[in-house]
Structure 1
C-alpha cells in the first residue's frame, strides 16, 4: 500500500503544481526553446505527462517487473524527483533558492522519465495489491489500494504548497 501511496504522492507533488511553473528562460535571458513560447507549458507539462503516463500504464499491462517484493526499490527513489523539479527553473521570478538544473532539455527528459514511471509503477502497484494477500482478503486489499491512491493524490497536491514555500523563502 505504501508503494501505491508514494507513486501518486510523488507524481501529484510534481504534476501539475510544479511543472506548470517551470520556465525555459532564466531571468534576463530570452526565450529560446524549440516550441513557441505560448505552447511551452501545455506541451512540456500537460501533453508530455499524460502521453507518457499512458505509455507507462500500457507497459505495466505487458511487463510486470520488478515483482511485488521488490517494487519498493524503484518506487522509493522516485522521491528524488521532487527536489530535482523544484531546483529546475521553477518559479524563476519569486524563488530565493538558486536554479541547479537550468537545462530545459534535462527538464523535459526527466519529465518523460517521471511520467512513464508514474504510469508504469502505479499500474504495477495497483495490480500487485490484491495479489500479495490471502485470496479471502484480496477485495479489502483492492479497496485499501484505492484509498491510498486517493490519499497519495491529495497529500501530493497539498505537498506542492510546502515545496513552493521552501523554494520561495
Structure 2
C-alpha cells in the first residue's frame, strides 16, 4: 500500500536503491550475529530476528514492486524475465538446501555461507541497477529520461473514451496514480493474481511439507532425509520456474479471456488432492486415498507449474492493458494483490492445517 502512495512522490531509483541498502544492512547484521553467542539472550535474539524478518519483507516488497514497475515500461518479455528470475531464485535456494543437507557438518558455518551469499548478491544487484540507466537499450525505452524526472513523449489518447486513457496523470508528480480507473481496467486480472497465490500459499509449504512418504517405515535415506526437500521444495520451485518461463513463448489465454479466471478457480481442487495424500499429522481426515509417493510429486508439479504460468500471465498483463504512463502504478497495484493473496492465504493455511 505504501508503494502506491510513494510511486509519484519518490522516484523508482530512490525506492529501489534505498530498499536494497536496507536489505544489505539487515543481512550484514544477521551475518555478524551468526558468530555471536546468543545462548544467554535467546528471547531477545528471537525478537530481533522477527524484527529483521519484518524489515526484510517490507524492503523486499518495495523493491519487487518498484522493479516490476520499471520493467512495465519495457516490452512484455522483460516482465516475464523478472518473474522467472524470482522463481529461479527459489530453485537455487532449494538446491542449496539439499546440498547443505548432504555435505554440511556445522550449522553455524552453513548459516554463515547462506548470509554471506545474500550480502554478495545484494551488492551485485546495486551495481547492476546503477549501470542500468547507462545502457543504450534502456535509453531507447525512455528509462533514462524517466530517472531524470523528464516527461515522456506525449501519447495520442484522443480516440479513446475510456477514463483510464484520458485521465491526466502528468499534471502532478506528487499525487498517487488514479486508483479507481486502474482497478476498473485490471480488476479481473488482479483477482486472478490474488487467488492464484492465495491457493498456492495455503498448500505450499504448510500442507505439502507435511506429506510423508508412504514407505517411511523402511527407514531408507530417500523416504526419510530427502523426501520432503526434493518432492516439496525442489520440485515445486522448479515447476514454478518452468511455468513462468513457458509464458515467454505462450500467452494463452489472453488478458480479456474468460478462461483465465476459470483456470485460476479450478486450482482450488488442489487442496483436497494434497490432503488425501499421506499428510501428517492427520487430525480428522483419517483416510489416505493416494497411497503412492508418485501422487504428491505429480500434484506438487502441477501446483507449481500452474502457479508460475497463471500468476505470470495475470501479473504481466496488468501494466499492458493501461496507458504507458500508468504502467508503473498498475504494476504496483498488481504487486499489492499478489502480496494480499500470500498474506490471506498464509492465514487460511492455519485453518486447513486443523482439518
TM-score (norm 1): 0.87
- The yes-or-no answer on 1:145 pairing with 2:334 is yes
2:242 is aligned, of 55, 60, 64, to 55
The residue number in structure 2 matching 1:125 is 314
Q: Is the 8 A contact 1:53 1:116 kept in 2?
A: yes
1:75 maps to 264
Match of 2:347 in 1: 158
Partner Cα separation in structure 2 for residue 135 and residue 77 of structure 1: 32
**C-alpha displacement of 1:87:** 2.1
Contact 1:25 1:32 in 2 (8 A): no
**1:14 paired to 2:198:** no
Residues 130 and 137, structure 1, Cα contact 8 Å, conserved in 2: yes
Shift in CA distance, 66/33, structure 1 to aligned 2, threshold 3 Å: farther
Contact 1:24 1:33 in 2 (8 A): no
- Count matched residues: 163
RMSD of Structure 2 on Structure 1 (CA):
2.1
Q: Does 1:35 align with 2:222?
A: yes
- Inter-CA distance 14–131: structure 2 relative to 1 (3 Å threshold): same
Task: Indicate conservation of the 8 Å contact 1:64/1:124, yes or no.
Answer: yes
Q: Cα distance, 1:122 vs. partner?
A: 1.2
Shift of 1:158: 1.3
Q: Which whole-Å CA distance do the structure 2 matches of 1:33 and 1:24 have between them?
A: 10
For 2:333 and 2:196, locate their aligned partners in 1 and report how far apart those are by CA, in whole Å.
15
List per-residue Cα deviations over 1:2-56 (Å, max 9, x = no partner). Answer: 0110111111111111111001127xx7348893421000000010011111111
TM-score w.r.t. length of structure 2: 0.43
CA radius of gyration, larger in? 2
Q: How does 1:82-97 map to 2 (within 5 A)?
A: 82-91=271-280, 93-97=281-285
Q: Is contact 1:86–1:163 with CA below 8 Å preserved after alignment?
A: no
Q: Distance in 1 between matches of 2:323 and 2:225?
A: 52
Determine the C-alpha separation between the residues in 2 that align with 1:32 and 1:66.
46
| Alpha-carbon separation, structure 2, partners of 1:65 and 1:35 | 38
Cα distance in 2 for partners of 1:79, 1:101 equals 18
For structure 2, the 5+ residue unaligned runs are: 1-189
Cα distance, 1:73 vs structure 2: 2.1
Aligned match for 2:302, one of 113, 121, 131 = 113
